[in-house]
Structure 1
Amino acid sequence: MVAEGIHFQNASGPAGMRLYAIGDVHGRLDLLEMMHARIRQELSCDRPDDWRVIHLGDYVDRGPDPKGVLDLLIAAVHEDRRMIALAGNHDIGFLEFLAYPSPHGLFARYGGVETALSYGVQLDFNAPAALAIGHAALSRAVPQGHVTFLQGLGLCESFGDFFFCHAGARPGVPLEMQDSRDLTWIRDEFLDHTGLHPKVVVHGHTPSPEAEIRSNRVNVDTYACKSGVLTARVVDGAEKRILSVSG
């Protein structure tokens, strides 16, 4: 019996189009600048017919300069629509905190302090009155353009035999019918699944010491905010390779 779906070894990108899928940045502006510089160098040297750079989400929290990361991405997407930014759960969590300042949400528990500091605001999640003051200050400090950008982030993209999203896809559900929470949050049900998907899923969300390559998925989250290594999967037709920068 022939297994349904696409195996990584047999997967290809669209003819004439090079793809770069960049893992979780988490405030490491320095690494994202390095990655963009490497990609620009390659594109200038190789001159592929077409290309896409797909950022897989989680631009904020934990690292030192989430604001700078958003500034860079907004400018890059505005300059060239072949630059694509998808939403991660931390990006959504930032919006949720701005709308409702909970001291118990993702933003408060996992790196929101660093995000606020990058906007010049110090948050105190331990006292309701202090949190209210900090939230008001942060709401004033975050440019509307940042909010609009985050609200407009897509959840997935598909090119050739590859499906790109932040966290993964629920097995057995058609890719075009995936739930938004699964695309930004799923872990075990997706990571432990050994069957093939309709397309190879390229994702981040789950930190790994190095890029993971499986028959049905590729994980490019190398925990840039702590490891100092930002990783991208490059697809050029049938050729597939890893591109990493470190600092």
Structure 2
Amino acid sequence: MDMRDTVVYAVGDVHGCHDELRALEQKIELDAQAFRGRKIIIMLGDYVDRGPNSRRVIEHLMAPPPKGFTRVCLAGNHEVAMLAYLDGDLPREPWLRVGGMETLFSYGVDPARLSNLYGSSDEVDARIRAVIPAAHVAFMRTLPVMVCSEKFVFVHAGIRPGVALEAQDEADLLNIREEFFRTAHRLDRWVVHGHTVVDVPKFDGRRLDIDTGAFRTGRLTAIRIIGKYGRLLSSRD
């Protein structure tokens, strides 16, 4: 991605927090009025689970971005987990335990009630899968896992240090933590990511973690990057 004459707003993990996403986007629109050139919003993944309105978040991201902006949505591990359940590759309970319950509630589905009505686990799964709109599933399947520029990497969780970007494993890009944070290996580019919740945005070396746990704090964070300069924005400023 060419970031010349471009202002980029990277947004941390939304996790079903539709109101916070709307509030943050409004602040991004106001902030961007001072800039000419391209304007890009990069969503860092994890749109579903945990928060109350996963369905509305997906619908919002499928709709056109704010006027004058391009929006790029990356995959997070929670989208991958949801797809794995819908495809029959992950049992229901592990997904529900990491926030899938709240996602299903947002689609008007109560798994416990379905279990009481139908008993059969296969029947319950079939009815759940029938409720999720095909367009939402298709949207999640198309999400890229990483966007790179000359100086920046935008990714959900991080990268494996010492491995070329083109050789990175998708599982690392979506899930890595300790190996990414504790390495002494110098990163070649700034890595802007979410996945690991921090009380305040954390800038450690060339790692920029902007996941401020919106689903439990109400604070959804973005970082504006133009050239070599950055500025933080929050849904609760």
Same fold (TM over 0.5): yes
| 1:115 and 2:94 are equivalent in the alignment | no
Partner in structure 1 of residue 236 of structure 2: 246
* CA distance in structure 1 between the partners assigned to 2:60 and 2:123 by the alignment: 28
Partner in structure 2 of residue 26 of structure 1: 15
**Contact 1:175 1:198 (C-alpha < 8 Å) held by counterparts:** no
TM-score (norm 2): 0.91
* CA distance in structure 2 between the partners assigned to 1:54 and 1:75 by the alignment: 15
Q: Which amino acid aligns with 1:95?
A: L
Q: SS where residue 61 of structure 2 aligns?
A: helix
* CA distance in structure 2 between the partners assigned to 1:150 and 1:118 by the alignment: 16
Correspondence list, 1:197-236, <5 A:
197-236=187-226
* CA distance in structure 2 between the partners assigned to 1:76 and 1:188 by the alignment: 36
Aligned length: 233
Correspondence list, 1:21-100, <5 A:
21-43=10-32, 45-76=33-64, 82-100=70-88
How far the C-alpha of 1:82 sits from its partner, in A, is 1.8
What per-residue deviation string (whole Å, max 9, x for no partner) do you get for residues 34-56 of structure 1?
Answer: 1111112222x213211211000
* CA distance in structure 2 between the partners assigned to 1:224 and 1:202 by the alignment: 17
What per-residue deviation string (whole Å, max 9, x for no partner) do you get for residues 157-190 of structure 1?
Answer: 0124110100000011011211000000111100
TM-score (norm 1): 0.87
Partner in structure 2 of residue 148 of structure 1: 138
* CA distance in structure 2 between the partners assigned to 1:176 and 1:78 by the alignment: 31
Q: Which amino acid aligns with 1:229?
A: R
Partner in structure 2 of residue 10 of structure 1: none
How far the C-alpha of 1:126 sits from its partner, in A, is 8.3
Correspondence list, 1:101-180, <5 A:
102-105=91-94, 107-124=95-112, 129=119, 131-180=121-170
Q: SS where residue 232 of structure 1 aligns?
A: strand
Q: Which amino acid aligns with 2:209?
A: N
Deviates more, 1:137-146 or 1:202-211: 137-146
RMSD: 2.3
How far the C-alpha of 1:212 sits from its partner, in A, is 0.5
How far the C-alpha of 1:77 sits from its partner, in A, is 5.6
**Contact 1:121 1:134 (C-alpha < 8 Å) held by counterparts:** no
Partner in structure 1 of residue 5 of structure 2: 16
* CA distance in structure 2 between the partners assigned to 1:89 and 1:194 by the alignment: 25
How far the C-alpha of 1:209 sits from its partner, in A, is 0.5
